Amino acid sequence: MRSAEMIELRRGDMRESLHRGHAIICDAHGVVEAWGKPSQIVFPRSSCKMIQALPLIESGAADAAGLTDRQLALACASHSGSAMHVRAVDKWLTGLDMAEGDLRCGSHMPGDPAEYRRLLCSDAAPCQLHNNCSGKHAGFLTLNRHLQGGPEYVEPAHPVQQAVKAAFEEVTEETSPGYGIDGCSAPNWASSLEGLARAMARFANPGTDRRGEAMRRLVDAMRAHPEMVAGEGRSCTALMRAMGGGVAVKTGAEAVFVAILPQQGLGVALKISDGATRASEAAITALLIHLGVLEAADPVAQRYLNGPILNWRGLKTGELRCASGFPA
């Protein structure tokens, strides 16, 4: 099997561009529907942050630190670096008697327009709190303090990352073929796309044991605080709000997207082969509509799929659509 045609850009009456990829829907028993190649090996990137946060809860570190649901959502976030996010991570670190310098995620300009403008106009430099992964790293530091590990918690052999690897392989039910270093300097373990979807289905069907409780808490935190998971104007936040908090979704770099549907007991994972974010946002929107949890006519749905693409004069020039056969 090869990649499937998933999303196309139409201009006038013609197809101008085509995005191919792979998408898998799993339930507690296995694959329900698939497009492309289920065994395709991918780096989940930030789409797997809820897996990376499992040891934070399972170890007892989250409860020992008194973490709130809002902080647990932030541990799963690729946030925009808004003032709200920066303050939240700073407060978290202060509660640990730590500071920005203890992070190992690096600095970049924030995606939040207001904070970007503030830094630019004040000629100030961003700090690590602005990093979209700083919430995940605050979670790593919380776990690391509990484990009494060394300061370089992003090293693959560090107890924090070994705990993450063990959780990742257990919930994907696969031995990872290897890792790459993510943009935030932490190792990102690879799996098949089916394994990633299988993991999301486990989050949708959590048991009553310690792991199940950890999964439930993380999903509930994401659904209750979508603004912490991404930010205003971002697809994860907008889609979760549009679905009334019933579904958790999470994007990852290079066009990976996952969804957790607790009421339906389903997990979804997709990867667009060319790494285009516009296509992964359109594809997850199409699958959420296909699964009956998002209305096709919802303005948020139309923002990412079938809505008009306008030029600088406000004229419609095209639209992103599903390619024939996806997802129907």
The per-residue pLDDT for range 143-163, each reduced to its tens digit, is 999 999 999 999 999 999 999
Burial class (CB within 10 angstroms; exposed 0-12, middle 13-18, buried 19+) of 227: buried
Burial class (CB in 10 A: 0-12, 13-18, 19+), 38: buried
What does the alpha-carbon distance between residue 49 and residue 41 come to, in Å, rounded to a whole number?
A: 18
Residue 1, pLDDT > 80, answer: no
Mean pLDDT of the chain: 98
Per-residue model confidence as pLDDT tens digits over 184-233: 999 999 999 999 999 999 999 999 999 999 999 999 999 999 999 999 99
pLDDT of residue 176 exceeding 90, the answer is: yes
What confidence category does residue 13 fall into, taking pLDDT thresholds of 50, 70 and 90?
confident
At position 306, the amino acid (one-letter code) is N
> For the chain, first and last CA: distance in Å?
18
Joined together, the tokens standing for residue 69 give: 């649901």
Tokens of 215: 């999964």
Q: Mean pLDDT throughout 102-122?
A: 98
Question: Token pair of 250, please?
Answer: 């999470």
Q: How confident is the model at residue 60 (pLDDT cuts 50, 70, 90)?
A: very high
Tokens of 58: 């399972």
What mean pLDDT do residues 241-256 have?
Answer: 98
pLDDT at 137: 98
The pLDDT of residue 174 is above 80: yes
Mean pLDDT across the stretch 27-53? 98
C-alpha to C-alpha distance for 213 and 192, rounded to whole angstroms: 25
Which among 83, 77, 6, 37 is positioned nearest to 194, based on CA atoms? 37
> Two tokens at 311?
């030029």
For the whole model, what pTM was predicted? 0.97
- What are the CA-CA distances from residue 205 to residues 20, 42, 160, 171, 208 (Å)? 30, 23, 26, 12, 10
CA distances from 261 to 74, 87, 126, 268, 294 (A): 20, 30, 36, 8, 11
The mean per-residue pLDDT over the stretch 132-136 comes to 98
Residue 94 and residue 105: Cα distance in Å, rounded?
A: 17
State how far the Cα of 228 lies from the Cα of 212, in Å rounded to an integer: 22
Q: At what angle do helices 83-95 and 113-122 cross, to 10 degrees?
A: 80
Please give the average per-residue pLDDT across 88-112, as a whole number: 98
State the pLDDT confidence band at 328, using cuts at 50, 70 and 90: confident
Spatial contact of 307 and 319, defined as CB atoms under 8 Å apart: yes
Report the distance separating Cα 17 and Cα 199, nearest Å.
Answer: 32
Tens of pLDDT, residue by residue over 266-317, are 999 999 999 999 999 999 999 999 999 999 999 999 999 999 999 999 999 9
State which amino acid sits at residue 138.
Answer: A
Helix 159-172 to helix 193-204 angle (10° resolution) is 90
Does residue 2 carry a pLDDT above 90?
yes
